[in-house]
Amino acid sequence: MIVVSIIALLAAIAVPGLVRARERAKKTRFVNALRVARDAFELYATEHNTYPPDDGPGVLPPGMQTYFGSKLNWTAPSPIGGQWDWDNNYLGITGVSVWMTALPREEMEEVDRMIDDGNLSAGAFRESQLNRYTWLVE
């Protein structure tokens, strides 16, 4: 009985830490994927003197597969849920977006701190619409 109590106590201590570590890893994977996407779009713009045309969420703009290769599956959900989207002068912004993410705004502020200034209303990474977050490239 004492052994069971000790195991239960250790589990109660360890589980919250494991959950936090798992969530942090998911956000880190998202930030890394976001960097891959941003770099790919910037390389495209460097080589073509323009960014690719805007398309809908989850639709890979023409010519971008070459730049992503196997590093990022644009049509699959992002590591934090939601769909990737390329915005070329959409609502006056150009950047890599994720739309309809599974994370609440408070956790997206943590993602912002990993990338930028922690303020989703300003800076390079921001909330561009309700539940749409964009890393500006221009």
pLDDT in tens, 68-105: 989 999 999 999 999 999 999 988 899 999 999 888 99
Please answer whether residues 101 and 133 qualify as being in contact, where contact means their C-beta atoms are separated by less than 8 angstroms.
yes
Domain assignment of residue 79, given as a range: 2-136
Nearest to 42 by CA among 96, 111, 116, 85: 96
Domain count, the chain: 1
What DSSP element (H or E) covers 9?
helix 2-48
pTM of full prediction above 0.75 = yes
